[in-house]
Amino acid sequence: MMKMMPGDKMREMKKGPKVEVEIQVGGRDPKSSPIAEDLNKLEIEDEDMYAQMAPRGTFTSRGLDPLVRNTNKLLPLFGQEPNYPKIGDVDVLPTDFVRVLAMFAQAVDDAVEEGVLNPEMKIDLEGIMDDAGLMSLSGKIEMLAKDREFKKFLQEAKPEEEPMEEEAEMEMSPEEEDAMLMERM
């Protein structure tokens, strides 16, 4: 009997019936559920909305690099990794980046409404047409990342996980508990 090394076992495990795997990227298969087609349409509409919001002009690394760097400084306050990649010279900002900027703009609007920030801090993407506009926006984002009151506002605005606790407090019959557990699986 021949003794097998760990690497040999791995090679042996890889052998076997071939399995075809179909992977769909960027959407759902409309045949998979009745809701999938509607969700795909909503995703396309959402993408179109951000594409229309995207600033257009002549943007170079001179304006883009500081903007991306300061965006990465602010992302952790929104519970996101500070790893947005550099953007090359473009005529239109990428929609995923516009989505991030729109998230910042909404938070700033909310903070202005609550009196936490000065209205001058509002983010307006419509007026950005060149590197000077990007640098102005970059400066605002850098100030937001350092603003203690804004940080506090964002921390207070995060939703608590109370709904889970409320669910646990509700009394259920054993059948209802089983049904709920099966839904979650």
CA gap 57, 128 in Å, rounded: 8
Tokens of 164: 């889970």
Per-residue pLDDT of the chain (185 residues; tens, 9 = 90+): 444 444 444 333 444 455 444 444 455 555 566 677 777 787 887 788 888 889 999 999 999 999 999 999 999 999 999 999 999 999 999 999 999 999 999 999 999 999 999 999 999 999 899 999 999 999 999 999 999 999 999 998 765 544 444 444 556 667 777 666 666 65
Q: Where are the domains of the chain?
A: 39-156
CA atoms within 13 A on the CB side of 61: 3
